[in-house]
Amino acid sequence: MGKALLETRQYTDAADLFQRVLSSTPDDFISQVGMSIIREDGGALDAPFGIWNEPLKFNPIMLPYRMSCDVCYGRRDGVEPPKVRLTRGALARMYAKGNLYQQAIAELRAGLMEEPTRVDLQVVLARMYFLSRQRIEAVDTCSALLKKLPYCMEANRILSIILPETGRKADAQIYLQRVQELDPYMIHADPETVTSDAVPEKIIMIERLDYQKTDTSAGRSSQPAWAASLGVNMK
């Protein structure tokens, strides 16, 4: 739906939906790309690209958007960058794809020292700790994430797997319930995985979404609490 709204240049509504996704999946590729396009086409040249520009530098498939982003930098700074600047987050994701978890962790920790508010990097860091079986570090990172985004999908999922091993089975059920609310397919997923990709599509039926825009009339605030935790101003 966010992509459809973006295509019709309904930027405010598209941004609302992309940011809803990012409140549970801060490193969602499509939503990050959508937000980067909105930032560029919406003319917000003075706003930092930050999290939204990360996927453009990381994925070669996004070359047209990367070129467009360079033009945007040129309009803002007066000169286009000579080449795509690889960020720590992008480098960490490349290490992760090659199962080089310790190298990814080193880059992510350095990146978070430079940009402590990057919740998308925290998600990847939690995943790297989990996959490298550094359970204490994974729990600490997930707990910090959930203070900002209580329904962060991956943080809840990781805690639902790790905590039963520590004797905190009751707490694990809380996180597992959140995961299943966000993704009903996780009920049938392998307990040791962090995704539900292998679950057959037809196994779950849910009610059709009745999407309604947020009512900002009568003095109601248009700034959801989770938006502030992503560093986004929706007003």
Q: Per-residue pLDDT tens for 114-168?
A: 888 888 899 999 999 999 999 999 999 999 999 989 999 999 989 999 998 887 8
pLDDT in tens, 42-54: 644 344 444 445 5
Cβ distance 132 to 100 under 8 Å?
Answer: no
Q: Which amino acid makes up residue 195?
A: T
Secondary structure of residue 156 in the 3-state scheme: helix
Cα 159 to Cα 174: distance, rounded to the nearest angstrom: 10
Cα 191 to Cα 203: distance, rounded to the nearest angstrom: 17
Cα 57 to Cα 94: distance, rounded to the nearest angstrom: 11
Cβ distance 151 to 22 under 8 Å?
Answer: no
End-to-end, the C-alpha distance of the chain in Å comes to 21
Cα 179 to Cα 151: distance, rounded to the nearest angstrom: 8
Tokens of 30: 């499509």
- Which span out of 3-7, 33-37, 68-72 was modeled with the highest average pLDDT? 3-7
Mean of pLDDT values over 101-125: 91
Position with higher pLDDT, 192 vs 200: 200
Secondary structure of residue 233 in the 3-state scheme: coil
Alpha-carbon distances, residue 209 vs 25, 100, 171 (angstroms): 19, 40, 30
Helix, strand, coil % (nearest 5) of the chain? 65, 0, 35
Cα 76 to Cα 61: distance, rounded to the nearest angstrom: 24
Mean of pLDDT values over 59-83: 56
- Fold designation for 88-203: 1.25.40
pLDDT at residue 171 greater than cutoff 70 = yes
Position with higher pLDDT, 29 vs 69: 29
Q: What is the pTM of this model?
A: 0.66
For the chain, how big is the Rg over CA atoms in Å? 19
Domain spans of the chain?
2-85, 88-203
User: pLDDT tier at 63 (50, 70, 90 boundaries)?
Assistant: very low
Cβ distance 3 to 33 under 8 Å?
Answer: no
Q: Which helix (H) or strand (E) holds 7?
A: helix 2-7
Per residue in 226-235, is it b (16+ CB within 10 Å) or e — as a string?
Answer: bbebbebebe
Tokens of 47: 């706003």
